[in-house]
Amino acid sequence: MAAPKSALARRNGDFSEEERAAVYRAIFERRDVREHFLPDPIPDEVLERILRAAHHAGSVGFMQPWNFIVVREAATKGAVKDLFRKANDEAATRYTGERATLYRRLKLEGIEEAPLSLCVTCNRQRGGRQVLGRSTVRDTDLYSTCCAIQNLWLAARAEGVGVGWVSILDHEALKQVLGIPRPVKVVAYLCLGYVSEFAPHPDLERAGWRARLPLEELVYKEQWGRRHDDEG
Amino acid sequence: MAAPKSALARRNGDFSEEERAAVYRAIFERRDVREHFLPDPIPDEVLERILRAAHHAGSVGFMQPWNFIVVREAATKGAVKDLFRKANDEAATRYTGERATLYRRLKLEGIEEAPLSLCVTCNRQRGGRQVLGRSTVRDTDLYSTCCAIQNLWLAARAEGVGVGWVSILDHEALKQVLGIPRPVKVVAYLCLGYVSEFAPHPDLERAGWRARLPLEELVYKEQWGRRHDDEG
């Protein structure tokens, strides 16, 4: 394969084959982890590297709207676990039959097993009333925060640390537990810890809940719904 | 430094020092690129690897709500550039004095210079009415799509491809241009291309628009606003 790249680009900061493979490895071996957490604490310097990775995401208008609340105390985790139980009991009622049985069997969080939780928030007022690039699409601050989370997730994978995103939580109630003020929005509650293994496939794929979609079905050319260059 | 990791975790899929450094390199050297695009086309196999990286983000309920519209035609890019001009003229009126002058001088997109654009969307109805994990926080499908975008961004960096996120666009008008149906939401319009260089710092930091915040100011312990373990 001959990639038609200019010599200039090649000179300027290119990744080696090995470096590129490592980036893809982190991307493909990252998992949403809910089990196999080990009790070993995450050293401060490892946590700092992971958070610094998050902080180096791009953000709309360089707004850097994120904060990170590091939760280690059992009492706090217990309160969050209670919120999960409540939201999950509610969610479970939405399924019937076999699907309900399967739902109940799935492990959807590791709040109390993981040595550390991180609540990632977005301060929607940071940077004042005019944030460059945000006047047209207001939610770009939330989008930036999610990009920070993905950085964090991949850095953690490279550190051997599993991350699980617990989305079944009432965020208003979570704000009460963590003392988060009104203009700040919770984006994610993450559980972090070293793990005995990273599963080869996503849990929900393995459990038969849903299959991975073929990439080619998701890619269009020039227009929504167009698969081939000559269509249309 | 002695990281207290169990032998089990160490045996199981750990990254080497070099691999870990490569992941951090992609994270720290990723840039939101608006200039220095080269005209060299992105080979299909490189684009496919980048899109596959996006597709391997985690998603709420394994929903995989994303689609990718690959835009290469000058006419389509021209129409999008017109949308940018309109939205940007509107945005520029929000600044006065020196700030207005600086705003006007900033290069905020590379729509027509970059050989390829990608519109990343989120189909909010994919997976039916009940998507596991989404009943409590409805926007988790958008959050998943942003995680996919960050995967894409980092994979592109590892391939030597620059990515710029153009957020100053009316998304409803963009949907008209690209034929995107009603239940599908535009999340991002990205410009991709090989570049002559990746800037050492974010453009807005270099231009003096905003400074990077110190990470330690963004990290709290147990509760919002608490910096030290013994406070509170």
Taking the domains of chain A in order of start, what are their residue ranges?
Answer: 31-210
Q: Which is nearest to B152 in space by CA: B34, B15, B22, B32?
A: B32
CB neighbourhood size of A39 (10 A): 11
**Contact at CB, A58 and B26, closer than 8 angstroms:** no
- Average pLDDT of the residues of chain A: 92
Predicted confidence at residue B202, as pLDDT, reads 94
pLDDT at residue A11, as a whole number? 42
**How confident is the model at residue A1, as a pLDDT?**
41
Q: Which residues pair with A116 in a beta bridge?
A: A192
* Per-state percent for chain A, helix, strand, coil, to nearest 5: 40, 15, 45
User: What number does CATH give the domain A31-210?
Assistant: 3.40.109.10
* Mean pLDDT along residues A45-53: 98
| Contact assignment for A52 to B215 by CB distance below 8 Å | yes
Instruction: Tell me the pLDDT tens digit for each residue of A17-48.
Output: 999 999 999 999 999 999 999 999 999 999 99
What pLDDT shows up at residue B8? 43
The pLDDT of residue A3 is 45
Could you tell me which chain A residue has the CA closest to the CA of B221?
Answer: A70
Dihedral angle of Cα B62, A166, A155, A113, to the nearest 10 degrees: -120
pLDDT at A130: 85
Residue segments in chain B with a per-residue pLDDT below the cut of 70? 1-12, 229-232
Q: Do A223 and B72 touch (CB under 8 A)?
A: no
* pLDDT tier for residue A135 given thresholds of 50, 70 and 90: confident
Contact flag A147-B153 (C-beta cutoff 8 Å): yes
Output the CATH code of domain B32-196: 3.40.109.10
Question: Which residues from B are below 8 Å from A198, CB to CB?
Answer: 12-13
What's the average model confidence in pLDDT over A194-219? 94
CB contact under 8 A, A140 and B167: yes
Looking at CA atoms only, how far is residue B151 from chain A in angstroms?
Answer: 7
Binned at pLDDT 50, 70 and 90, residue A230 comes out as low
Minimal Cα–Cα distance from A180 to chain B, Å? 5
State ipTM.
Answer: 0.93
Q: Is B25 helix (H, G, I), strand (E, B) or coil?
A: helix
pLDDT of residue B11: 42
Whole-number pLDDT of residue B228: 77
pLDDT of A108 higher than 80: yes
**Distance from A113 to chain B by nearest Cα, in Å?**
16
The closest CB to that of B27, out of A106, A143, A155, belongs to A155
Residues of A in contact with B69 (CB under 8 A): 219-224
Chain A and chain B share a number of CB contacts under 8 A equal to 351
Looking at the DSSP bridge assignments, the partners of residue B69 are: A220, B119
pLDDT of residue B3: 45
**Whole-structure pTM value:** 0.94
Residues on chain B touching A193 (C-beta within 8 angstroms): none
Cβ contact, residue pair A135, B91, below 8 Å: yes
Q: What pLDDT is attached to residue A231?
A: 58
